Amino acid sequence: MGVKNVGIRDVAKLAGVSVTTVSHVLNDTPQMRVAPETRARVREAAETLGYGPNRAARALRTNRSGLIGLLSEEIATTPHAGRIILGAQDAAREHDLTLVIINAERGPHDAAHREEVQTLIDRQVEAVLYATMYHRRVSLPPNLQGVPAVLIDSTDRAGIVPAVVPDEVGGAVAAVTHLVEAGHRRIAFLNNDDDVPATHERLVGFRQVLGEHGIPIDESLIVQSPSETLPGYALAREVLARHDRPTALFCYNDRMAMGAYRAAAELGLDIPNDLSIVGFDNQELIAANLFPGLTTVALPHYEMGAWAVETLVHLLRGEAEYKLLADKPTRLDCPLVVRGSVAAPRDR
Amino acid sequence: MGVKNVGIRDVAKLAGVSVTTVSHVLNDTPQMRVAPETRARVREAAETLGYGPNRAARALRTNRSGLIGLLSEEIATTPHAGRIILGAQDAAREHDLTLVIINAERGPHDAAHREEVQTLIDRQVEAVLYATMYHRRVSLPPNLQGVPAVLIDSTDRAGIVPAVVPDEVGGAVAAVTHLVEAGHRRIAFLNNDDDVPATHERLVGFRQVLGEHGIPIDESLIVQSPSETLPGYALAREVLARHDRPTALFCYNDRMAMGAYRAAAELGLDIPNDLSIVGFDNQELIAANLFPGLTTVALPHYEMGAWAVETLVHLLRGEAEYKLLADKPTRLDCPLVVRGSVAAPRDR
DNA sequence: TTGAAAGCGCTAACAT
DNA sequence: ATGTTAGCGCTTTCAA
């Protein structure tokens, strides 16, 4: 029997007041002045009885379920979704909101997860968080109209829904700066070849840092492949086979970096002394288990989840404007996580 | 606004019947005979109005929230929790139940997650799923008494709550059998050194297979260390340095296997031709990204999640007996996932 | 085979 | 500063 059978009237009786007063006190109803002495009595009564509100009754009365839906792609595949959940959950608890999570398979192209959104709506959530597994642009399902929503790790093609995404440029800047400051000047960028924001923006960051440091950009050191381990390996082999091989590799993600580790091992190159490597994503399972540990850039999944709930709450309370937020996605920091894969280049 | 403002009375009006009848029809109330023709009219009316029940009202009236709590450790750290969530969710949806997930940090020793359970209870869940991140014995928090509960991936020290765990012995048997059938007779077991069920039971499976095949057990090939990449590496180096080195390694988990891969690479041993390796856990991020792909044993996380919800539903309906289930944990299959790390030994 | 009506526990408009 | 009371939308008992 979850919460016991104590109701607001039991508390009222014990405190010797009316249910109204109890309600006012327990909810801190604004503009309702209750004698401090009465407040205390009510609080105490509630405490001794172990009173907890019946959420169904409250929801019925106020027409607010206290539920927030989180639609997340591929919960099971990477820990990224987990961190979003965590961030969202902590923020939700802060506001006494309950998070209802629903998984969505990453569909063939742009299925938009109409059905999953509907499930959430049927559950009477007050708002929905829509989280994708990697930073991209999406078209929202039509039934998401009419429910307050916030996008996590993606932006709305229609530009109508508030969104929060990683600061990809900033992350790349942090990574490459780290390399440059270690003394590297010949740095290859093993980039992804998908047409997604991360591909373009990380490249922008890469160029920016070299530019700022007056390092000429060797275009042949910017190479692309699918962002998997094996293609990353192949790319690394290629780039490291050159007689003027780079002293450092900036990899689009940790999986490609994992491939680069293998390439280095096969070529007898010691990491970090013969070759420095920086990844992106901070996938613990990979980054922390490689040897030496992979220095990489963390995606702000936790923070995005928290930001999204926080924003939703403001939106629901009418304290924030949709248009203002939807206008331009909020970008959150991608901090560098230093492990052991970067050192000064052996010689100049 | 989520579900529109259509209520049961709107449906009643449109169908020309009473709300009572609508309720009976839409809920298929047993033993309530309604004229088929009326049923149809009601259904149609509900359909055209896009009616969906107000869950809060229903919950208030029936005193059943329709919520199931899932308390899971370390949601963010491994994909394992994700698969449990998925399984639980699919099963929950089947029964029109909503899953409320809550994360619990893995505390110092046996914090028992009292607070998280309370949060769930405060949310008025009808029952709770208690999932740990690895197979072990737990002491349940006292406030979990009185709420129907099922344990996932752990067993109750008090033996009072139904539980579902992986069939560790079976998984080890599958792994080692695979090796033996490939022709291996000198197989090392890189085991974990924690005192958890998996450690003991996988060893049981290991011995069992060798025994069944009449292969003498060389105790010096059974070695232990913490189940991380680096200790796995060290163990592998050690065992592979022997002049009579084994032709195959059975690793306690994929992380240790990852360490073994590095050891093999450093020793110039080709996997799988010079050395076969089988892991455990099927952590995609590792197993699928190693080269060659790691043959390993999958933990039935999805299945355990689904089983738990299914069982909870039976329990709630009074269709199943607590004692029967709590008596002995249910063990679910750990299937072998074949990738590319096993081949016949080079020579006998 | 169908309908009328009570009431689940709470909030809030309206008294006092 | 505190109390009375109507009703949120639904299920379910009882009556017809």
Question: What six digits make up the tokens of B71?
Answer: 């308390």
- Asked whether residue B7, judged by its CB, lies under 7 Å from any atom of the DNA or RNA strand D, the reply is yes
Question: Nearest CA of chain A to the CA of B89: how many Å?
Answer: 8
Beta-bridge mates of residue A315: none
- Decide if B184 is inside a domain: yes
Q: Is there a cis peptide before residue B272, judged by omega within 30 degrees of 0?
A: yes
- pLDDT: is B335 or A3 the higher one? B335
Rg (CA), chain A: 26
Contact B165, B308 (CB under 8 A): no
Please work out, in degrees rounded to the nearest 5, the angle formed at the alpha carbon of residue A347 by the alpha carbons of A344 and A348. Answer: 100
Say whether A75 and B85 touch across the interface (CB within 8 A): yes
Where b means 16+ CB within 10 Å and e means fewer, A147-180 reads bbbbbbbbbbeeeebbbbbbbbbbbbbbbbbbbb
Question: What six digits make up the tokens of A130?
Answer: 């829509």
Question: What six digits make up the tokens of A216?
Answer: 């000429």
pLDDT at A109 over 60: no
Alpha carbon B70 to chain centroid, angstroms: 12
The pLDDT of residue B4:
57
Q: Note whether A187 and A237 are same-domain residues.
A: yes
| B195: phi then psi, degrees, rounded to nearest 5 | -90, 70
Confidence of residue B2 (pLDDT cuts 50, 70, 90): very low
Contact B294, B341 (CB under 8 A): yes
Question: Chain C positions under 7 Å from a protein CB?
Answer: 1-5, 7-13
pLDDT at B348 over 60: no
**Cα–Cα distance list, A179 to A239, A307, B201 (Å):** 17, 30, 47
Say whether B258 and A289 touch across the interface (CB within 8 A): yes
Q: Note whether A129 and A230 are same-domain residues.
A: no
Confidence of residue B172 (pLDDT cuts 50, 70, 90): very high
Q: Which residues of B touch A98 (CB under 8 A)?
A: 100, 123
Chosen from B124, B125, B299 to mutate, greatest number of chain A CBs within 10 A: B124
The pLDDT of residue A79:
83
Alpha carbon B320 to chain centroid, angstroms: 21
- Decide if B339 is inside a domain: no
User: Percent of chain B at pLDDT above 70?
Assistant: 97
pLDDT tens per residue, range B186-224: 999 999 999 999 999 999 999 999 999 999 999 999 999
Range with lowest mean pLDDT among A20-24, A68-72, B314-318: B314-318
Protein B23 CA to nucleic acid D4 C1', in Å? 32
Q: Helices B79-94 and B301-317: crossing angle, nearest 10°?
A: 40
Q: Note whether A97 and A23 are same-domain residues.
A: no
Taking the CA of residue A331 as centre, how many other CA atoms within 13 Å lie in the half-sphere pointing to its CB? 12
Q: Which of A73-77, B160-164, B249-253 has the highest average model confidence (pLDDT)?
A: B249-253
Q: Note whether B194 and B87 are same-domain residues.
A: no
- Decide if A145 is inside a domain: yes
Distance CA B97, CA B81 (A): 19
**Beta strand spans in B178-246 (E):** 187-192, 222-225
Confidence of residue A95 (pLDDT cuts 50, 70, 90): very high
* Tally of CB atoms within 10 A around B320: 16
> Which B residues, 285 through 344, put their C-beta within 8 Å of a C-beta on chain A?
285-286, 289, 291, 302
Tell me the average pLDDT of chain B.
92
CATH of the domain at B320: 3.40.50.2300
Q: Note whether B275 and B180 are same-domain residues.
A: yes
Question: Nearest CA of chain A to the CA of B299: how many Å?
Answer: 13
Protein B57 CA to nucleic acid C15 C1', in Å? 28
- Decide if B58 is inside a domain: no
Q: Note whether A211 and A270 are same-domain residues.
A: yes
Beta-bridge mates of residue B191: B224
Average pLDDT over residues B165-190: 98
Of chain A residues 41-100, which have a beta carbon within 7 Å of strand D? 57, 60-61, 63
Say if A157 is an interface residue toward chain B (CB within 8 Å): no
Distance CA A49, CA B21 (A): 40
Place of tokens 């994503």: A281
Q: Note whether B203 and B268 are same-domain residues.
A: yes
Average pLDDT over residues A103-114: 75
Chosen from B54, B75, B299, B301 to mutate, greatest number of chain A CBs within 10 A: B75
Q: Which residue of B has its CA nearest to A56?
A: B56
The pLDDT of residue B165:
96
pLDDT at A347 over 80: no
pLDDT at A4 over 60: no
Say if A118 is an interface residue toward chain B (CB within 8 Å): no
Q: Note whether B138 and B158 are same-domain residues.
A: yes
CATH of the domain at A44: 1.10.260.40
pLDDT at B160 over 80: yes
Distance CA A192, CA A334 (A): 18
Average pLDDT over residues B234-246: 96
Q: How many domains does chain B have?
A: 3
Q: Which residues of A touch B266 (CB under 8 A)?
A: 265
Q: Is B317 exposed, middle or buried (0-12, 13-18, 19+ CB in 10 A)?
A: exposed
Q: Note whether A176 and A104 are same-domain residues.
A: no
Tell me the average pLDDT of chain A.
92
Contact A183, A243 (CB under 8 A): no
- pLDDT: is B181 or B327 the higher one? B181
- Decide if A73 is inside a domain: yes
**Cα–Cα distance list, B140 to B97, B115, B314, B330 (Å):** 24, 12, 21, 18
Distance CA A131, CA A325 (A): 17
Say whether B146 and A60 touch across the interface (CB within 8 A): no
Collapse the DSSP code of B144 into the 3-class scheme (helix H, G, I; strand E, B; otherwise coil) and give the result: helix
Please work out, in degrees rounded to the nearest 5, the angle formed at the alpha carbon of residue A259 by the alpha carbons of A258 and A260. Answer: 90
Distance CA A196, CA A184 (A): 28
| B341: amino acid identity, one letter | S
Distance CA B85, CA A104 (A): 12
Confidence of residue A111 (pLDDT cuts 50, 70, 90): low
- Decide if B1 is inside a domain: no
**Which residues span the domain enclosing B208?**
168-299
| A98: amino acid identity, one letter | T
pLDDT tens per residue, range A186-245: 999 999 999 999 999 999 999 999 999 999 999 999 999 999 999 999 999 999 999 999
- DSSP letter string over A220-275? GGEEEE-SSHHHHHHHHHHHHTSTT--SEEEESSHHHHHHHHHHHHHTTPPTTTT-
| A103: phi then psi, degrees, rounded to nearest 5 | -90, 150
Q: Note whether B199 and B291 are same-domain residues.
A: yes
pLDDT tens per residue, range B27-60: 998 887 888 899 999 999 999 999 999 999 999 9
Range with lowest mean pLDDT among A186-200, B71-85, B238-252: B71-85
- In chain B, % helix, strand, coil (3-state, to 5) comes to 45, 20, 40
- DSSP letter string over A13-61? HHHTS-HHHHHHHHHT-TT----HHHHHHHHHHHHHHT----HHHHHHH
- Decide if A347 is inside a domain: no
Tell how strand B296-297 and strand B336-337 pair up: antiparallel
Q: Note whether A126 and A175 are same-domain residues.
A: no
Confidence of residue A2 (pLDDT cuts 50, 70, 90): very low
How many residues does the structure list for chain B?
Answer: 348
Contact B50, B4 (CB under 8 A): yes
Confidence of residue A3 (pLDDT cuts 50, 70, 90): very low
Distance CA A250, CA A180 (A): 11
Say if A119 is an interface residue toward chain B (CB within 8 Å): yes
pLDDT at B323 over 80: no
Average pLDDT over residues A142-171: 93
Say if B178 is an interface residue toward chain A (CB within 8 Å): no
Distance CA B17, CA B8 (A): 11
**Closest nucleotide to residue A41 (Cα to C1')?**
D2
Q: Note whether A99 and A187 are same-domain residues.
A: no
Confidence of residue A110 (pLDDT cuts 50, 70, 90): low
Considering only CB atoms, B76 lies closest to which of A86, A98, A123, namely: A86
Beta-bridge mates of residue B163: B151
Q: Which residues of A touch B234 (CB under 8 A)?
A: none
The pLDDT of residue A1:
35
- Decide if B346 is inside a domain: no
Distance CA B299, CA B201 (A): 14
Distance CA B110, CA B128 (A): 18
The secondary element (H helix, E strand) that includes residue B12 is: helix B8-15
Collapse the DSSP code of B236 into the 3-class scheme (helix H, G, I; strand E, B; otherwise coil) and give the result: helix
